Amino acid sequence: MDLHLTSTDLSSLVNLALEAGQAIMKVYGKDFSVSQKSDASPVTEADVAAEIIILAGLKRYFPQIPVVSEEEFSAGHKVAIGETFFLVDPLDGTKEFISRNGEFTVNIGLIHKGIPVMGVVYAPALGQIFAGQLGHGASKASTPELSFAPIKARACPPEGPIVLASRSHLDAETKAYIEAQKPAGLSNAGSSLKFCRLAEGVADLYPRFGRTMEWDIAAGHAVLLAAGGSLTQSDGTPFPYGKDGFANGAFIAKGA
C-alpha cells in the first residue's frame, strides 16, 4: 500500500497512548492480580485494558492497516500482515509495573516495508512521552502539559559510550559485550525507555542479546530512527520486521 503519513496521524497515536496510559495508571494505583501467560511471562488487567483501548483506536483511525498486539497474539489471535502493519505492546515492562518502579511504557509502532516509520512511547508513571516520524524528527513532552520539544541522538563522546542495559534481563553475553566497549558509564533502565534515552542524547549504546519480540522494540526503534540513531542486528545487518512468530534475535541500538 502507498503510505501517506501526516502530523495528524502521529497525534492520533499520541492520544491513544495517553488514553491507554490513563487506564494503566488506574490499575497501578490499586491492588491488582498477576497471572502468567503460556510463555511464563506475567500479565495484569492493565495490559488487557490498555490493549482494548489501543486496538479500538487504531481500527478507528487506521482501519486499513493490520495490527499485531502482544496480548492478542499471546492468546492465539493471528493477523495477516502485509508490508504495512502496526506493532503494539500495550504495557511494556510488566515486571517494572509489578515492582512499581515506574519504568514501564505504552508502545505503538508502525512498520512500512520493514522499517519503523512512526512510533510513540509513553511512560505514564514518569509523565514522559516520546514520538517520532521518520524524516520529520523526534520529540519529547511531559504530561499533562504536552509541550513537545525536539530531541536528537548524539555522537558518542571521546571518553567512551554511556551504555544502557535492561534492568530485568542482563545476561552474561550482554555483560561481556558491554565490557568490551570500555564504557564511560553504565545505566539500567526498564522497557523501551532505553531507546528513548538514546534518542534524546543522554546515552549512546544499548546492546541486547536476550530474546525480545518485535512489539517490544518497534515504537522505540521508530523514535530512535527519527532522532538520528540506529538499530541493527548484532552483525551490523538491517533489523528485520514481520518475522515468523515475531521473535527477535540479538540487536545493537546506537545514538547518532
What domains are there in the chain, each with its CATH number? 7-151 (3.30.540.10), 162-254 (3.40.190.80)
Q: Where are the alpha helices (DSSP H) in 118-191?
A: 172-180
Its sign, for the CA torsion 2, 106, 177, 204, is positive
Alpha-carbon gap, residue 136 to 256, rounded angstroms: 16
pTM: 0.94
Alpha-carbon gap, residue 20 to 50, rounded angstroms: 4
User: Coil, helix or strand for 90?
Assistant: strand
Q: Where are the alpha helices (DSSP H) in the chain?
A: 7-28, 45-61, 70-74, 94-99, 172-180, 193-199, 214-226
Q: Tell me the per-residue pLDDT of 214-246, one tens digit each, with 9 for 90 and over.
A: 999 999 999 999 999 999 999 999 999 999 999
Q: Tell me the per-residue pLDDT of 13-66, one tens digit each, with 9 for 90 and over.
A: 999 999 999 999 999 988 887 777 766 677 788 999 999 999 999 999 999 999
